[in-house]
Amino acid sequence: MSTVTVEAAQGPALGDDLEAAPPGSFLVTLIIRRYIPEIDDEPRWQDFDVRVLPTDRILDALHKIKWEQDGSLTFRRSCAHGICGSDAMRINGRNRLACKTLIKDLDPSKPIYVEAIKGLPLEKDLVVDMEPFFESYRQIQPFLIASSAPPEGRERIQNAVARERFDDTTKCILCAACTSSCPVFWTDGQYFGPAAIVNAHRFIFDDRDEGSKVRLDILNDKEGVWRCRTTFNCSEACPRGIEVTKAIQEVKQALLTHRS
């Protein structure tokens, strides 16, 4: 993790009140890949100088640009705390959540490049159409499948060891950072993608679930787990630290052994 020495406040940016510049603030340049379908034939890069604190996040800088410089800048966010998964974007060429990326952890002496995640249809600026991503997610049936009801007034009991088996993959927030960092997904568009497999894993290895065979059959498809080339992009991209490639490997292994 890099740290920066923050110089005294520099010159004012557009929409910046120098007298109100907070101590320790400085100017950083964000170069954002813009696309407004009503006016742009192709995406274009646009520079914005914005005053930030080192502890500000990329999301804070985007808010400042939108509120103070250009209200047309479009991006998704909801929780602003790494939980909802709505603000995955490419920041300096790497998929990250804007709300979890601190300015000081980048190199703010250089411009910071921000663009939409890849492999999904671009709708506007940093917003992509997530429907193909969620369609793959729905196909793996991401819910408990059980033929019997739980005991009257009780939950389905599971011991700690059995729960641990799929603990990692319960952490997914469906941000699509993994799937949209996968070269197979970029070139193909049909591949289920890492996130769908992670969420299948969460149920395949749950000993209360009876749908493992169904999900394994789905992922045995030519667009399923065998498309994975183990590039580890997905694991590196995951903001929740999920071992995505390992989960994919475990699903492959389950298919080979027909055990879950």
> β-strand 112-115 against 26-34: which pairing, if any?
parallel
Residue 154 token pair:
């009780």
Under rule CB under 6 A, residue 171 binds ligand FES = no
Under rule CB under 6 A, residue 82 binds ligand FES = yes
Radius of gyration in angstroms for the set of CA atoms belonging to the chain, rounded to a whole number: 21
Pick the stretch among 15-23, 83-91, 141-149, 153-161 that binds ligand FES (CB under 6 A): 83-91
Residues that bind ligand SF4 (CB under 6 A): 85, 172-178, 194-195, 198, 237-238, 240, 242, 244
- Residue (65 or 184) nearer to ligand FES, CB: 65
**129: Cβ contacts below 8 Å, ≥ 6 apart:** 120, 121, 122, 123
> Which one of ligand FES, ligand SF4, none is in contact with 116 (Cβ closer than 5 to 8 A by kind)?
none
- Residue (21 or 228) nearer to ligand SF4, CB: 228
Cα-based torsion angle of the residue sequence 81, 86, 91, 95 in order, rounded to the nearest 10 degrees: 100
Pick the stretch among 24-32, 71-79, 138-146, 248-256 that binds ligand FES (CB under 6 A): 71-79
Estimate the crossing angle of helix 194-204 against helix 212-219, to 10 degrees: 160
Rounded-to-integer distance, Cα 194 and Cα 180, Å: 9
Q: Which of 33, 77, 94, 156 binds ligand FES (CB under 6 A)?
A: 77
> Which one of ligand FES, ligand SF4, none is in contact with 32 (Cβ closer than 5 to 8 A by kind)?
none
Sites for ligand FES among residues 92-151 (CB under 6 A): 97, 99
Is residue 52 within 8 A of residue 62, CB to CB? The reply is no
